[in-house]
Structure 1
Amino acid sequence: MPYVASRHNSLIAHVVTVVFGLIALIILLHLAFVLLEANPGNPLVNAIGDMANWFSWLFRDMFTIDDPKVRAVVNYGLAALVYLLIGGAIAGAGRRWRSH
């Protein structure tokens, strides 16, 4: 029975890692679109921007820097970093719990 429980914990840790990694990827894609001045009227650019804005709502206006590109790098980059750190911490805790 412990083998089954540990297998599920490992699966949950992998799912958490993938989900938080995908969120960070969406935010970083939006950041790349901003830096490369992608057409905001493009449906893909617009959809990625909407998702990135939704996921990073706490960070979007954290720092008010005059240069919009630098502001995007700082605010969205911080959001992506936080998602990666939280996902890694949750997955790491799940893996450590599995080993006990």
Structure 2
Amino acid sequence: MVLHRTRYYPLAVQILAGICMVIAAIIALFLVLILLNANQSNPLVTFVGNIADWFAWLFHDMFSADNARIQALINYGLAALVYLGLAGLIHALGRRTVD
């Protein structure tokens, strides 16, 4: 019988990385809504905005710019990248090799 090495990711690692990726997707969705000038009084836009604001609270007004859209692009984009990087880190640290 031939033994070969395989890699697998425990369920907890997959769940945590998935949560971080969903958070990054929500922030990116709100960023797209901002850049497309979505109606801020629309309930869906408000809902997505409240969730994105809650997850990106560390990045509010981190960088300032003259244009509000550019400022949102920088701050929310940075938040989304941090969550994607965190998902990648969790995924890389959770990898196991089995004989």
Report the count of equivalent residues. 92
The corresponding residue for 1:89 is 89
| In 2, Cα distance between equivalents of 1:99 and 1:93 | 12
Q: Give the whole-Å Cα distance in 1 for the aligned partners of 2:36 and 2:60.
A: 18
CA shift for structure 1 position 30: 0.5
1:91 to partner: Cα distance? 1.7
- Larger strand proportion of the pair: 2
Query: TM-score when scaled to structure 2?
Result: 0.86
Letter in 2 for 1:50: N
Q: How far apart are the structure 2 equivalents of 1:18 and 1:86? A: 11
Letter in 2 for 1:68: A
Q: What's the Cα RMSD here?
A: 1.6
CA contact (8 A) 1:24 1:84 kept: yes
Q: Which has the higher helix share?
A: 1
CA drift at 1:17: 1.8
Unpaired stretches in structure 2, ≥5 consecutive residues: 1-6
| Structure 2 CA distance for aligned equivalents of residues 32 and 66 of structure 1 | 19
Higher relative contact order (CA 8 A, sep 6+): 2
Give 1:79's aligned residue.
79
What TM-score comes out, normalization by structure 1 length?
A: 0.85
Shift of 1:72: 0.6
Structure with greater Cα Rg:
2
Matches within 5 A, 1:42-81: 42-81=42-81
